[in-house]
Structure 1
Amino acid sequence: MKVLIFGAGALGTYFGLRWADSGTDVSFYVREGRKKQIEREGLQVTSVKGDTKVSSPTLVTNPSEATSPDVVLLGVKGYHLEDTIPVLKEFVAKGAKVLPILNGIEHITILQETLGKEAVLGGLSYIIATLDDRGHVHHTSDLHELIFGPLHPSQKEVCDSLNEINERANFNSQLTSNIEEEMWKKYMFISAMSGVTTAGDLHTGTIRDVPETLKLVENVMTEIKALASLYDVHINQADIDRRMESFHSLPYEATSSMHQDKRKKNKLEVEHLQGGALRLAKQVQLNLPYTETLYRLIKPYETQNS
């Protein structure tokens, strides 16, 4: 199986190098600036699960240069989604399936409408990783999970093949027939974690220390649970309880990628995450007061001047 990583951000680089270590044919589609940095610095992962690096990875800057990939792992930020679609169309025309692991939910419908339902797999990841100034990945918790599955009956074979290479790679992988439900559960978790850490400028340990603030995390999850039910995806209280247990298990200094971006004065995914929930809620006439408050608090920081 040939895997192409669309972008070499923290998530794409992490899973790409883990696949490469296990013998999978991996290439990276990158912009010219990132290509020059990688040619100078290589790709490297520093991780509690083991370090790895590749000095000269296969880099592609034009879709025509790529050999036909079987799977394109899409791990870009939500605000870059629109820019990726013309290039993704070229890879899909070569027979590739797209595996998006973006935070959020809205992107699945957007990709299906533009690429075709048969071309888009369901996927998500649980991982805490960030890039340093050299473009190297720092992975700081035991979480490194890739969960995926078919959204169309025609995708069974490619999912089975992907599952085979994942079993050899140094990360946790799960192939599920209920991927839509799993994506909503992740959306529930990340909406709460990203919203509270970013709006409050807090890491998870401080949130856990203050019961009133910790309750806000659960309240946001409860709102997303209600939203999911109106889209025929049923999440129960036990699912919330498990995500709260996961929140408690994170390192004290752990935080969300959006909070990290706020600290770095990078553009934020607030419109893709909290904004997306509000748009979906409006379509089904549901109010999300906690999510809306977090959205309004984060929105002024969406684009900052470094």
Structure 2
Amino acid sequence: MRIAVVGAGGVGGYFGARLAAGGDEVTFVARGAHLEAIRAGGLTVRSPLGDLRVAPDAVVPTIADVEAADVVLVAVKLWDTEDVARQLRPLAEGGAAVVSLQNGVRKDDVLRAHLPESSVMGGVCYISAFIEEPGVVRHNGSLQKLVFGEFGARAAEPSLRAGALLDRCAAAGVEAEVSADVERVIWEKFVFLVGLSAATSAVRQPIGVVRGTPGSRALLLDVMREAAAVGRARGVDLDPGLADERLAFCDTLPAGMAASMFTDLRRGNRLELPWLSGAVAELGGELGVPVPRNQAVADILSPYVMGTPAGIDA
């Protein structure tokens, strides 16, 4: 299978390298120091499941350099989605299936606004991975899973392209499954991610502190309940006890775990806040669902969205 991976960071770098090792023709789109390092020495993935190395010629600087693809995996930061979607149109019109592995629930709406609707498949990933240094991706732990599937009426029938991608994941040693209700899967992950990112970033402490303090624990639960309520208002079939179940899951996480948004906040980097609690606040307003906790988080963290302002200590 010809696979283009747009964004060779932790997510794209890891899954793309696994698929390449499984025999697929994988092309990575990268930029900056990461691009130059891969060009010089290839892409290295360090993982408890076995290290990998992808040859330097597997990377290109722009989507236009990808001649053709059967599948495109989108793994860029959410603020780059619209720009990437516009550039992907020739590949999508050429028959490529586009699968976003990004966080958030509006990513596929953005893709469909610029691409043929039939080209977009839903997807989520479960992994802890990051760029350790230019040219090197570090995978933490053993979790590495993809879930993908068709949207709407197309999900009711077997999908040849989803089945083909599932087969390639199996050949690469990537845990994967095809979902008949991928929108629900996306929202289930979103509810948890919004809670983890909002609570750890607003409190500026990892999950152990957040869940162990009554006030911040309540914040975590309320943020997730609001996100789930918005999803239900949009017609997504979310279990009424989803937020409570996700809170119980948070109790099983390593105490030092925090969302990537909290890491970005500490480093002074740009935040995905508008696509997380910000998206819950915006959707809640559109749908008439009260979301005061998410709105408060979005307001509190708003000065840091574009990075830590000069003279401010995050």
Residues in 2 aligned to 1:238 and 1:21: alpha-carbon distance in whole angstroms: 40
| Aligned ranges 1:290-301 → 2 under 5 Å | 290-301=293-304
| Alignment coverage as a number of residue pairs | 306
Contact 1:267–1:302 at 8 Å: present in 2 too? Answer: yes
Q: 1:246 to 1:143 in 2, by over 3 A?
A: farther
Q: Which amino acid aligns with 2:95?
A: G
Structure-2 residue corresponding to 1:210: 213
Give the match for residue 235 of structure 2: 232
User: Structure 1 residue 274 and structure 2 residue 306: aligned?
Assistant: no
- Rounded Cα–Cα distance in structure 2 between residues aligned with 1:292 and 1:135: 38
Deviation at 1:64, TM superposition (A): 4.5
Normalising by structure 1, report the TM-score.
0.93
In the TM superposition, residue 171 of structure 1 has moved relative to its aligned partner by 2.9
Could you tell me whether the CA contact under 8 Å between 1:30 and 1:61 is conserved in 2? yes
- Contact 2:82 2:111 (8 Å CA) reproduced: no
Greater shift in the superposed pair: 81-90 or 173-182 = 81-90
Match of 1:157 among 148, 154, 160: 160
Deviation at 1:55, TM superposition (A): 4.1
Tell whether 2:125 aligns with 1:122.
no
Letter in 2 for 1:221: M
Match of 2:87 in 1: 87
Displacement of 1:93 in angstroms is: 2.3
Matched, 1:67 2:70: no
Asked if 1 retains the 8 angstrom alpha-carbon contact of 2:5 and 2:29, the reply is yes
User: What SS class does the counterpart of residue 72 from structure 1 fall into?
Assistant: strand
Distance 2:217 2:146 in 1: 27
Residues 168/187 of structure 1: CA separation in 2 closer, same or farther (3 Å cut): same
Unaligned runs of 5+ in 2: none
Residue 113 of structure 2 is aligned to residue 110 of structure 1: no
SS in structure 1 of the partner of residue 163 of structure 2:
helix
1:114-155 per-residue CA deviation (whole Å, 9 max, x = no partner) reads 112101100111222221232422222333221111115288
Find the counterpart in structure 1 of residue 97 from structure 2.
97
Amino acid at match of 1:97: A
User: Structure 1: 5+ residue runs without aligned partners?
Assistant: none
The 1:141–1:239 alpha-carbon spacing in structure 2 relative to 1, beyond 3 Å, is farther
Quickly say closer, same or farther: Cα 1:136–1:142, change in 2 above 3 A: same
Moved more, 53-62 or 108-117: 53-62
Q: TM-score, structure 2 length as denominator?
A: 0.91
C-alpha distance in 2 between matches for 1:76 and 1:249: 29
Superposition deviation, residue 14 in structure 1: 0.9
Please give the per-residue CA displacement for 1:247-276, whole angstroms capped at 9, x wherever unaligned: 222222221111111122111000111111
CA distances 1:182-234 after superposition (whole Å, capped 9, x unpaired): 11111111110111111111112222322332232221111111111111112
Over 4 Å off, 4+ runs: none
Distance in 2, Cα, partners of 1:157 & 1:213: 46
SS of alignment partner, residue 126 of structure 2:
strand
Offset of residue 72 of structure 1: 0.4
Alpha-carbon distance, 1:75 to partner: 1.0
Query: Are the counterparts in 1 of residues 41 and 56 from structure 2 also a CA contact under 8 Å?
Result: no
Matched, 1:255 2:255: no
* Aligned counterpart, 1:173: 176
Identity of aligned pairs, percent?
28
Give yes or no for contact 2:64–2:87 (8 Å, CA) kept in 1: no
Residue matched to 1:5: 5
With over 3 angstroms needed to count, the CA separation of the structure-2 counterparts of 1:172 and 1:57, relative to structure 1, is farther
What displacement does 1:282 show? Answer: 1.3
C-alpha distance 39-148 of structure 1, shift in aligned 2 (>3 A): same
Return the alpha-carbon distance in structure 2 between the equivalents of residues 241 and 273 of structure 1.
Answer: 19
